[in-house]
Structure 1
Amino acid sequence: MSDREAGTPVPYMERTRHYYRALGYESDYVWAHHSDAPFAHLAKPLRASTVALITTAGPPDLSNRDARNRKHVWSGEVQNPPATFDTDVAWDREATHTDDRETFLPIDAMKRLVADGTIGALSPRFHGAPTDYSHRKTKEEDAPEILRRLREDKVDAALLTAL
């Protein structure tokens, strides 16, 4: 573990700025923001809602796909999640690891929330959102595809977790 204190947040955005500057970039990375995203209040209480999980971790076995097709929306079964995920994405390897699936796909925690009545149900599928540097692709292709899948699963809310 790095020199930061245990339990303190990882200053990810600041570290990313420093990293890009060290690579010689003169301007900071521009983080995607979508002020027109259609977020909405829940139509019913959380305890009566079906919740889906969305992760930025990549799908498991990528051995039969070429690099150009790695970044796509994908789905998996909550009852049978893969043991490993594609972790060939940028993440802070000094501050964290990918050995604990619950940190980026908290299926077991969500099942406990269903069991104690905090949420009504967990969607039978979770979904993977590719981490892509194209704001246009995220907004025009990936987000609509995830929304289509969420509607197909009849979910009321979604929780996005990042790898």
Structure 2
Amino acid sequence: MTHGRVGETGYWEERMSHVRYIDRTRDYYLGEGYATPYRWAHFDDVPFTRLPRPLAECRLGLVTTSEMVIRGRESELEHVENDPTRPGYSLPMATPTTDLYSRKASYDKHATTLDDVDAYLPLTHLHRLVDERRIAGLAPRFQVVHSQYSQRRTLTVDAPRIFAELHEDRVDAAVLTAV
């Protein structure tokens, strides 16, 4: 059955394809000769909770693995590139997307590009939602965490840092994005 209008069941399902990154990562590891495929993190008890109030009354944060940089200010992040532990960092949420770019090197170049910043870092869309009063506000900064495959590092370094910054910014909910 074909559906022709937005909002009807099946409309987007018929028009979208998904990047199967989990399958591709598994296949990559097997192709590289690893005895077992990469094991994705799995938690029986997921630390998600209900929103404390309606979304229109919530302040949102944004966390991304897209390795964003502000044009002309790249030198401010040199310590991040030269540090083997590669800590995450924060950038101002009010930064115009025209001033941002991703220096991400590892992404599926056959499935996407980095040309449209709002496609993987929806700052313009989030600000519009504030203007439309669909959300109460945004945190003053967004967090950038590097893609890496250490579940231990994610749990013991990245997650606590991000949580602390989101808490400091009085965020009710966070949007997580990746390239």
**Shorter-chain-normalised TM-score: which range?**
0.7 to 0.9
Change (3 A) 1:67 1:141: closer
Q: Structure 2-normalised TM-score?
A: 0.79
In structure 1, the partner of 2:55 is 46
* Displacement of 1:78: 1.2
Q: Which runs of 4+ in 1 moved over 6 A?
A: none
Q: Structure 1-normalised TM-score?
A: 0.86
In structure 2, the partner of 1:80 is 95
CA deviation vs aligned residue, 1:75-129 (integer Å, no higher than 9, x gap)? 01011255222213x3111111111111221000111111112111111111112
Larger radius of gyration: 2
User: In 2, distance between residues paired with 1:35 and 1:104?
Assistant: 28
How many residue pairs match? The answer is: 157
The yes-or-no answer on 1:101 pairing with 2:117 is yes
Change (3 A) 1:86 1:35: farther
User: In 2, distance between residues paired with 1:17 and 1:150?
Assistant: 32
CA deviation vs aligned residue, 1:26-49 (integer Å, no higher than 9, x gap)? 311101223344211011110000
RMSD value over aligned CA atoms?
Answer: 2.0
Contact 2:68–2:100, Cα closer than 8 Å, also in 1? no
Secondary structure class of the residue paired with 2:166: helix
Contact 1:53–1:159, Cα closer than 8 Å, also in 2? yes
Unaligned ranges ≥5, structure 2 = 1-13
Identical amino acids, percent of aligned pairs: 38
Unaligned ranges ≥5, structure 1 = none
From 148, 154, 163, the counterpart of 1:132: 148
Worse-matched range after superposition: 46-55 or 57-66:
57-66
User: In 1, distance between residues paired with 2:110 and 2:132?
Assistant: 35
Structure showing greater relative contact order (alpha-carbon pairs closer than 8 Å, 6 or more residues apart): 1
